[in-house]
Structure 1
Amino acid sequence: MAHIQACPRYPVAKLFALLPPKFIEALEQNQKIASCCRHPENHDIEAWYSSEAEAEKGVPDIYKNHCTCGRVHVRFMVGGGDERPVWEVR
């Protein structure tokens, strides 16, 4: 099953006001990842739907942070109540 892109890759620095603080804090405070990866302003982020059913709901449930070093950090959103940002690039 292929994922479906919900929001195109875009610099995190331009989306700080839109992203939930826990997205940023999870990277900044994770001592198990490389130091460059703990600087979200160096990342691009993109959002995905895990399935057709999620795409029909219109709410992304997978967020991928791409670091400048090439690593990708994935955040899965499950259940209700979580803030799930959506953006458009023009």
Structure 2
Amino acid sequence: MGLHLDLPPTQIPACPRYPVAKLGGLIPAKFIEALEQNQKIASCCRHPENHEIEALYSSPAETTPDIYIFHCTCGRKHPRFMCGGGDVRPFWEVR
């Protein structure tokens, strides 16, 4: 018989996927710049305005999203993580 651990769920949806271009200045500039200036990723991935982004909670204890995943049109995903209390964490609702 195997060992069973009750681990908390991870990556709980916070904000649905939404086009980065429609969120305007809500996304931190450092997220945008990290994609635009990364020469190690495909050319299409360096255009954040063509991505969709979703936000997730890393655990049920989080009160604001701390995982952000950019979804490129080519299918690649580019995660960003926010920890600590110094940054404003973006949050959006889609109706």
What TM-score results when the alignment is normalised by the length of structure 1? 0.92
From 16, 40, 47, give the equivalent of 2:48.
40
Residue aligned with 1:16, SS: helix
Residue 87 (structure 1) aligns with: 92
Q: Sequence identity of aligned pairs in percent?
A: 77
Shift of 1:19: 1.0
- Structure 1's consecutive aligned runs of 4 or more residues displaced over 2 angstroms after TM superposition are none
User: In the alignment, does 2:11 pair up with 1:6?
Assistant: no
Shift of 1:34: 0.4
Structure 2: gaps (5+ residues)? 1-8
Residue aligned with 2:61, SS: helix
Alignment partners' CA distance in 2, 1:36 and 1:16: 19
Residue 31 (structure 1) aligns with: 39
* Rg larger in structure: 2
Q: Work out whether residues 12 and 57 of structure 2, in 8 Å CA contact, stay in contact via their aligned partners in 1.
A: yes
Residue 72 (structure 1) aligns with: 77
Structure 1: gaps (5+ residues)? none
Residue aligned with 2:30, SS: helix
Identify the range of structure 1 (67-76 vs 10-19) with the bigger mean alpha-carbon deviation.
10-19
Residue aligned with 2:25, SS: coil
Amino acid at match of 2:36: E
CA root-mean-square deviation: 0.8
Residue 5 (structure 2) aligns with: none
